[in-house]
Each structure stands twice: as structure tokens, then as C-alpha cells.
């Protein structure tokens, strides 16, 4: 059997800057760091890594400081998501997921978001309950490790210790993370899933470490 793992930001949805704004507020409120997110690129990175990169130059990247920032971020995120005018699902995402669910395919997440943040974004997009397992930015700082965790959890859930995986993502880090975890990666667009999904299902199985 095959697992189907999805990134969130830029793959399933765009949060309209709500995530960055929530982090900005957390950094400023806790440590007085203003416009902190302007100094770091977020694409493809985990929330843990983003927090570390912002805090490290100030000598504030200990576990306690990072935990405080991420906890405050999660406090701000739901409200900012609700008010974000730029929040939207990516073209074809909802239809793609519905088609996969109709075929009873095992759907999981492989995302740099903290799990609670991932669930908040999915809820805002009407996708709660779509993904039964995953690997998250709260599990590991580096993406390959969280992809491997997603695969392990998916295998345990479906009872198939040899299941391989296809990863859907939108950044070079998604590609690298998938390949280092031994997964296939497919990315162009989630639109017209009826035309490309049979080919994805027919991909030859590959080993996953």
C-alpha cells in the first residue's frame, strides 16, 4: 500500500501571512524583537528552525526560549487566521483530497508547522478530519526527520510496515526532505486530479529507510 503525504503552506493553502504575523507578535512581546521575521526566509523550514534562526543571533535560542515563542505563536494564530483576508485553499486542493478520500487512500501530513498550528490552518480551510496521521514541525527541526516520522505513523496506522510514500510539496526543502526519507515526490498542481492520480497510484514502489 502507498501513503500520500501533504505539505500545507503553498501546497494545500496559503494563510495570507497569518503565520508570520503570529510569530512577529510572539518575538516582539516576549523579547522586544521588532520585525524579526524580515530577517529569515520561511519557505520549506519548520517552525522550530525558524524560531531558532531568529533567536540565535540574540543568544536566546535555548529550549525554554524557543518553547515560549512557539506557545505564544499558537495563542495568536487562530484569531489571525480567522481575520486573514488572504487566506485561501490552493487551486484543486479540496477536489483532489475529496477524490483521494473517495478512493480510501491513506492521507497524511508532512509539514514544518507545529501540529497544533497545522490543525488550526486546516480547520480554517475546512479540511479538519482529512488527515489521520503526519509528521510535524513539533516533531523534528529538520524536514527529512519529520517525513520519516510521518511514514512510520502511517505504516502503523494502516498495518503495513512496507508501505511506501508519495510526498506532495512546493519547495526545494520538500523535495530534499522526501528524497532523504526515501519517499517519492510529485508536484506540479493539485488541479485535475482525475487525470494524474491513476499514474501516481501506479508508480513503482521504492524503498524507504
Q: CA separation (Å) from 96 to 92, 93, 155, 172?
A: 6, 5, 22, 22
pLDDT digits (tens, 9 = 90+) for 8-63: 999 999 999 999 999 999 999 999 999 999 888 888 899 999 999 999 999 999 99
Rounded average pLDDT over 164-180: 76
- pLDDT of amino acid 125: 98
Rounded average pLDDT over 165-188: 70
Q: Which helix (H) or strand (E) holds 100?
A: helix 93-102
Rounded average pLDDT over 190-196: 92
- Which is more confidently placed, 166 or 87? 87
29-43 burial code (b ≥16 CB/10 A, e <16): ebbebeebbeeeebe
pLDDT digits (tens, 9 = 90+) for 122-141: 999 999 999 999 999 999 99
- pLDDT of amino acid 186: 55
Q: Which three cell numbers, joined as nine digits, stand for 84?
A: 486573514
pLDDT digits (tens, 9 = 90+) for 76-86: 999 999 999 99
Q: Which of 116, 114, 112, 120 is nearest to 78 (CA)?
A: 120
Average pLDDT, the chain: 92
Q: Which of 146, 140, 192 is nearest to 169 (CA)?
A: 146
84 vs 149: CA distance, rounded Å? 31
pLDDT digits (tens, 9 = 90+) for 51-78: 999 999 999 999 999 999 999 999 999 9
- pLDDT of amino acid 44: 85
Amino acid at each position: 500500500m502507498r501513503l500520500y503525504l501533504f505539505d500545507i503552506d503553498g501546497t494545500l493553502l496559503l494563510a495570507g501571512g497569518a503565520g508570520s504575523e503570529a510569530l512577529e507578535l510572539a518575538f516582539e512581546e516576549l523579547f522586544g524583537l521588532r520585525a524579526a521575521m524580515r530577517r529569515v526566509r520561511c519557505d520549506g523550514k519548520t517552525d522550530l528552525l525558524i524560531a531558532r534562526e531568529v533567536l540565535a543571533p540574540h543568544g536566546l535560542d535555548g529550549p525554554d526560549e524557543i518553547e515560549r515563542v512557539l506557545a505564544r505563536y499558537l495563542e495568536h494564530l487562530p484569531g489571525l487566521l480567522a481575520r486573514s483576508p488572504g487566506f485561501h485553499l490552493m487551486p484543486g486542493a479540496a477536489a483532489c483530497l475529496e477524490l483521494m478520500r473517495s478512493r480510501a487512500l491513506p492521507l497524511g501530513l508532512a509539514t514544518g508547522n507545529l501540529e497544533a498550528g497545522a490543525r488550526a490552518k486546516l480547520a480554517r480551510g475546512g479540511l479538519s478530519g482529512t488527515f489521520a496521521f503526519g509528521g510535524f514541525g513539533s516533531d523534528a527541526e529538520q524536514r527529512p526527520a519529520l517525513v520519516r516520522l510521518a511514514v512510520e505513523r502511517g505504516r502503523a496506522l494502516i498495518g503495513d510496515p512496507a508501505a511506501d510514500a508519495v510526498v506532495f510539496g512546493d519547495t526545494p526543502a520538500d523535495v530534499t526532505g522526501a528524497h532523504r526519507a526515501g519517499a517519492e515526490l510529485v508536484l506540479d498542481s493539485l488541479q485535475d486530479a482525475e487525470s494524474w492520480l491513476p499514474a501516481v497510484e501506479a508508480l513503482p514502489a521504492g524503498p524507504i529507510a
